[in-house]
């Protein structure tokens, strides 16, 4: 579905991505691992159009989408749950969800308002609350729910469990697995590499702006020594 080819991205004079090659196949869950500052979020922002790469390629379904604006990428069926959640604090829970509702690129409406509330029962109890009135865990649920309301083909989750209580973390991973089972492709960034590998089919490991290790998640999980040098585990 998404293919990144020899991607180079800079922030000013800082060379962040250094020839990254990566693929996210259709109906596949991919983990993106690496220590802090290795380029994971920059890779996501580059393929989503928030940062313009200096050179390389980004393709979706075989067609070049290099340099497309974020709203055009969203219309391709890519949902994004950013680090920091990015909900609208002055809108209610209901408004945050309804404003994002639309059919998928193929006309599907599998993720409806009612289905999202059934997936996150806690949100149904807070429909009139403003985004700023929610706990961190509730804000994360709302951010994921809002992305699902777009009926995406690919859902990108950047540090979806960061800073959350253990019970909420377990709930978020339950939902991530449920999303995976529906056939939506996912790209998951999270510090808990064991859980990432448990909930993905493939994984990529970044170091200093490059992909230094890749393979199927089960094999990487069975050989943690292969990750120790790259992740410091």
Task: Flag whether pLDDT at 66 surpasses 90.
Answer: yes
Task: Flag whether pLDDT at 48 surpasses 60.
Answer: yes
Please state which CATH number belongs to domain 2-219.
3.40.50.300
pLDDT for res 223? 83
pLDDT for res 84? 85
Of 230, 207, 226, 208, nearest to 217 by C-alpha is: 226
Cα separation values, 156 from 71, 90, 219, Å: 15, 24, 23
Q: Calculate mean pLDDT across residues 165-170.
A: 93
DSSP code for 228: H
pLDDT for res 85? 85
Residue 223, classified by CB atoms within 10 Å of its CB into exposed (0-12), middle (13-18) or buried (19+), is: exposed
pLDDT for res 168? 92
Q: What is the pTM of this model?
A: 0.94
Contacts of 127 (CB under 8 A, 6+ apart): 92, 93, 94
Task: Flag whether pLDDT at 106 surpasses 90.
Answer: no
Neighbours of 91 (CB within 10 A): 16
In tens, the pLDDT along 182-213 reads 999 999 999 999 999 999 999 999 999 999 99
DSSP per-residue letters across 112-133: -HHHHHHH-HHHHT-TTSBGGG
**Which token pair is 20?**
């990254």
Check if the beta carbon of residue 1 is closer than 8 Å to that of residue 172: no
pLDDT for res 30? 97
Confidence of residue 233 (pLDDT cuts 50, 70, 90): low
């Amino acid at each position: 579905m998404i293919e990144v080819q020899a991607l180079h991205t800079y922030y000013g004079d800082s060379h962040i991505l250094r020839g990254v090659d990566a693929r996210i196949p259709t109906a596949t869950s991919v983990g993106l691992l690496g220590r802090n500052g290795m380029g994971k979020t920059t890779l996501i922002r580059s393929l989503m159009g928030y940062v313009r790469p200096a050179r390389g390629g980004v393709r979706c379904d075989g067609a070049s989408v290099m340099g497309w604006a974020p709203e055009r990428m969203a219309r391709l069926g890519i949902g994004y749950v950013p680090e920091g959640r990015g909900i609208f604090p002055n809108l209610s829970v209901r408004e945050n969800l309804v404003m994002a509702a639309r059919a998928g690129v193929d006309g599907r409406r599998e993720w409806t308002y009612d289905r999202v509330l059934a997936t996150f029962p806690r949100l149904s109890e807070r429909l009139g609350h403003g985004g700023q009135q929610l706990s961190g865990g509730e804000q994360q649920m709302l951010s994921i729910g809002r992305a699902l309301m777009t009926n995406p083909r690919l859902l990108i989750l950047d540090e979806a469990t960061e800073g959350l209580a253990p019970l909420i973390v377990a709930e978020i991973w339950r939902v991530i697995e449920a999303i995976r089972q529906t056939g939506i492709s996912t790209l998951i960034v999270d510090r808990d590499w064991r859980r990432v590998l448990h909930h993905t089919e493939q994984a990529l490991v970044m170091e200093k702006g490059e992909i230094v290790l890749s393979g199927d998640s089960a094999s990487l999980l069975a050989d943690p020594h292969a990750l120790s040098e790259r992740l410091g585990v």
